[in-house]
Structure 1
Amino acid sequence: MPRRKATPAPVSVWDAVPDVVQAETLLKETQERLRALPPSPSPEQAQQEVVDAAVTAMRTEGAPIPSDIGERAAAAHVSALARYAERIALQTAVSSLQRRMPFLKSRGAKTVLTSLSAQLDEILAEVRVITGRSGRLVNGDAALAAGDPGVADYRRLGELVGAVDEIRSAQRAVYSETGDIGVLSTLYREGHDQFRGVRSEPLPADVLDVIRGQKPRGVPFLLFMADSGRAWLPVDVEELTEEARDAEDAGVPDDGRSTYWQRATTVADPPAPRPDHF
């Protein structure tokens, strides 16, 4: 029976959100049109250039101001108006699309993350099938000891590690568009975006090394993900911060300063009053 390959990550994490795809396409096309416009003066500049040329000719050559100077200046103004208006329209469109993009991505983020979460679950299910068939293939030696099927399974585990890398990268790309970078960095360092319950049940040191970027993700890490039953992919930033907040068990901030939880701060008791000395 042929092996099922992991669903590849999309070229853009937003490909599954039609509104974002449409807006990004329009933005790109509009920016290209704007860049393609040739340099052109504003209507006021074009009008002034006609006036300045007539005045210069009068001053240097003694030529009188043309009797139709008003018509000439007005014609230059009108001629420049269409090109100038087109530039203004395209600039306004680009600005509007750029301002709208965060809203569209925020609205579509859950769709993307839900899809990525499903892909991750499929990968972990396949890892469990492999370990059930060939055992814990933590390295090449274990794979060789398991024979040709073990070698093939170990190779497949390596492919799945790459798929998890892509999923986690896409996951964080989505979070970065919808959450506070400073808060997210703290959550990433503690592993909340990859495992549940990291406070109540601390992660092993070698797993933390991978989470913190000190070691690459490898087959042993993948096996830990599958075995622990704690690996997950929060489908929005709110779910991620809620997990961290529950783990911290420090209440919900009520001052509106941050969506992150507050840590308790110990304040020393004031010193006991001393009698005044006269």
Structure 2
Amino acid sequence: MRASTNPELTAAWATVPDVAKAQERHQEAVKLRRDFSRGAAPAEALTALQGEVIATFTATGKWPADYAKRAAKAHAEAVVWEAEAVALRRLEDVTKAEAENIRDSLSADVLRHLRGRLTEILDAAKSAGEALGDATSAEQAIEAGGDALDAWRRLTALLRDYANVRAASWDVLQSVSGMGPRLRQWRDAGHGQIRGVRLDNVPAHIVDVMRSGAFTIEYLVWLARSGAAFIAESYDDLEANAMAATEPVTYDDRGPLRDLSPTVKAAPEPMPSQIFPHSLAPSLGVLEAAPKQPTVTANPGDPTPYTPSF
């Protein structure tokens, strides 16, 4: 959970004070680590002292008689600093993990609160939509006056509340799942707002509003009347909603039909034999008379020119 200007998100997280308390502890740990004075690790402290006394010896030719005591003191002070620095770093990591675990485990309560707010808003929008009559714009509502004008004013406030509730639900789902890119992809495709109705059965101008996120009073009234609005209980619930809206309505377990009947083709015409001038009649051996030379029926022709390829 982080600071937000969305009043619906703030109110939703406030229903689970353990999350706010864990987040506060983590912020305190972060501040302690950042305010802790800078220091050096034991090895760094000794290296710095060695460089100092070596430089002194190089310049003066004198080695400090108290070097060992100074080294022991520098090492001890560095050990004390490092021990607290390591503990503060671990404190920050532990409180962060604890805050995330509490947030994830209690996110269902936050989403349940947002679903309740959604129901309240849509119930009020449905009632106001009936009083609005046929008016579809502020000008028409002003012209109609009376109940229609009051209904338009109520719907204007309800539209703002609805947008905040919807944004809060996406924020909670993203913070818990860590799947920001996938959630944005589903949101931009219009998923996660209605259940039980495929988008291809929804009026095109309503789908455009779902995809753009630029909610209108007309859309709010349509949503209230449809009874299909919902807020996902978890990332898996949202994924199932998106898959149900995009997968085919029916399946054929047998797969596509194929015609496997045999194809009958005509027998190919036999190629006539070709006898070239160099052809010889078959002979069974030297003991028999040489057979008559066959009649030439074809010429071999010129060979195909050789074309080198590289």
TM-score normalised by the chain length of structure 2: 0.70
Larger displacement relative to structure 2 (176-185 or 110-119): 176-185
Structure-1 separation of matches of 2:55 and 2:37: 27
Q: Residues 250, 149 of structure 1: CA spacing in aligned structure 2 closer, same or farther, 3 A cutoff? A: closer
Q: RCO (CA 8 Å, sep 6+): is it higher in 1 or 2?
A: 1
| Paired position in structure 1 for 2:13 | 14
Instruction: Select which of 199, 223, 226 maps to 1:225.
Output: 223
How far the C-alpha of 1:247 sits from its partner, in A, is: 4.2
- Structure 1: any 5+ residue segments left out of the alignment? 1-6, 252-263, 270-278
Query: What's the offset of the Cα at 1:57?
Result: 1.5
* Matched residue type, 1:76: A
2:118 to 112, 117, 120: 120
Percent of aligned pairs with the same residue? 25
Q: Distance in 2 between matches of 1:208 and 1:128?
A: 19
Whether 1:106 and 2:104 are equivalent positions in the alignment is yes
Residue deviations 1:68-95, cap 9 Å, x none?
3222111112223333322221212222
Distance 1:217 1:11, change over 3 A: same
Q: Alignment partner of 2:28: what SS?
A: helix
Are the equivalent residues in 2 in contact too, given 1:23–1:101 (CA < 8 A)? yes
Counterparts of 1:196-211 in structure 2, within 5 Å, are 196-199=195-198, 202-211=201-210
Match of 2:168 in 1: 170
Can you list the C-alpha shifts for 1:134-185, whole angstroms capped at 9, x where unaligned? 4254211331233243222211211111111111111111111233334423
Paired with 2:70 and 2:35, the residues of 1 have a C-alpha distance of 28
Letter in 2 for 1:174: V
Which amino acid is the alignment partner of residue 84 of structure 2? E
Report the Cα distance in structure 1 between the residues aligned to 2:144 and 2:82, rounded to whole angstroms.
73
CA distance in 1, matches of 2:50, 2:8: 61
Q: CA deviation at 1:32?
A: 1.5
Q: CA deviation digits over 1:199-223, x for unaligned, max 9? A: 276222112222222x621111111
Larger Rg, first or second structure (1 or 2):
2
Unaligned stretches of 5+ in structure 2?
1-5, 259-310
Say yes or no: does 1:187 pair with 2:191. Answer: no
Partner of 2:282: none
Aligned-residue offset at 1:115: 0.4
AA of the residue aligned to 1:82: V
Could you say which residue in structure 2 is the equivalent of 1:32? Answer: 31
